[in-house]
Amino acid sequence: MYTKENNKNKKHLIYGIRPVMEAITGGKEIDKIILQRGLSGDLFKELFYLIRQRNIPFQYVPVERLNRYTKGNHQGVVCLMSMIEYQSIFDILPTLYEEGKMPFVLILDGLTDVRNIGSIARSAECAGVHAIIIPAKHTAQINEDAIKTSAGALHQIPVCRHDNLIEIIEYLQQSGVSIVACTEKADQAYYEHNFNGPTCLVMGNEYEGISDNVLNMCFQKVKIPMVGTIESLNVSVAAGVVMFEILRQRNAE
């Protein structure tokens, strides 16, 4: 059943085991499924099989958490519906090459603040980014706040959600795309790097930066030099700085 409560996010919920199963088999865009800890039974096993089969992100929580989403009979299952249609970089990248475009894509590695995602998407759309790639797990839900902060850019720029960022980076590298990490661990300033080629810019989590396994896959690294006492910029600001340097270099050709 669909919730009818007035909370702006709750209209994007489906709850109850059978309705959620119908959403999955119907091919609906799903962000995450929230499950009550200790849930059991044949019908739940059938649902859980579908979740694992379709690689849908899920999370076990106490029943109190589920009750915050809806006062309805959720049966221990709440499904957070996506507000955008996710795409695949495996479809987008070949098309860019076929159209004679120089790919410019962005990986956001585990961002947790929806406003950062929205702000980055807004800058990315203005800077000519062709696609944003996010992990299926451990990232903020793209909700109304993210879309509002993006000024609608999340409806304009393709967002690709994939289970394994390492696999995606390997695919990009094999396709001739340079993977460039923006990290304080770099020696080279971002404006010293030549971005005039197919490029994937990688930005990390707000608190821990780029995860070690992803950073190890980035053979090129750049940093934003700073002179103040604060050690780092907000990730959305940092992303904007580097993205517009890439645009500047490409327009200067």
Using the predicted structure, report yes or no on whether residue 47 has a pLDDT greater than 60.
Answer: yes
pLDDT band at 11 (very low <50, low <70, confident <90, very high): low
pLDDT of residue 154: 94
pLDDT tier at 1 (50, 70, 90 boundaries)? Answer: very low
Q: Are residues 210 and 94 part of one domain?
A: yes
Give me the half-sphere count of Cα atoms (radius 13 Å) on the Cβ side of residue 218: 26
Q: What does the pLDDT read at residue 76? A: 94
Is 2:14 a contact under the CB 8 Å cutoff?
yes
Among candidate residues 11, 13, 12, 132, the one with its CA nearest the CA of residue 74 = 13
157 and 187 co-located in one domain: yes
pLDDT for 10 equals 52
pLDDT at 83: 87
Q: What pLDDT, in 10s, does the model give residues 147-168?
A: 999 999 999 999 999 989 999 9
Look over the chain and give the mean of its residue pLDDT values, rounded to a whole number.
91
Smallest CA-to-CA distance from 107 within 240, 214, 31, 216 is with: 214
Which residues have C-beta within 8 Å of that of residue 151, sequence separation ≥ 6? Answer: 122
In terms of C-beta density within 10 A (0-12 exposed, 13-18 middle, 19 or more buried), how is residue 114 classed?
A: buried
150 and 111 assigned to the same domain:
yes
Residue finishing a domain among 39, 57, 81? 81
pLDDT of 5: 39
Residues 14 and 119 in one domain: no
Compare 66 and 7 and report the one with higher pLDDT. Answer: 66
Q: Are residues 135 and 224 in the same domain?
A: yes
| pLDDT greater than 50 at residue 6 | no
Q: In the prediction, which pLDDT does 143 show?
A: 84
Q: How confident is the model at residue 201 (pLDDT cuts 50, 70, 90)?
A: very high
CATH number for the domain that contains residue 242:
3.40.1280.10
pLDDT reported for residue 27: 85
Say what the pLDDT of residue 3 is: 38
Please state, in angstroms and rounded to a whole number, the distance separating the CA atoms of residues 15 and 41: 17
Domain tally, the chain: 2
pLDDT for position 182: 97
Decide if pLDDT at 37 tops 60: yes
Q: What is the domain extent for residue 60?
A: 10-81
pLDDT of 139 reads 87
| pLDDT per position as a tens digit, 118-142 | 999 999 999 999 999 999 888 888 8
List the CATH number of the domain containing 62.
Answer: 3.30.1330.30
Q: Is residue 3 part of a domain?
A: no
Give the whole-angstrom CA distance, residue 156 versus residue 163: 22
Q: Is there a single domain that holds both residue 56 and residue 131?
A: no
Residue 99 has pLDDT above 90, yes or no: yes
* Residue 107 pLDDT: 98
pLDDT band at 93 (very low <50, low <70, confident <90, very high): very high
Q: What whole-number distance in Å separates Cα of residue 253 and Cα of residue 248?
A: 9
Closest to 135 in 3D by CA, of 115, 116, 163: 163
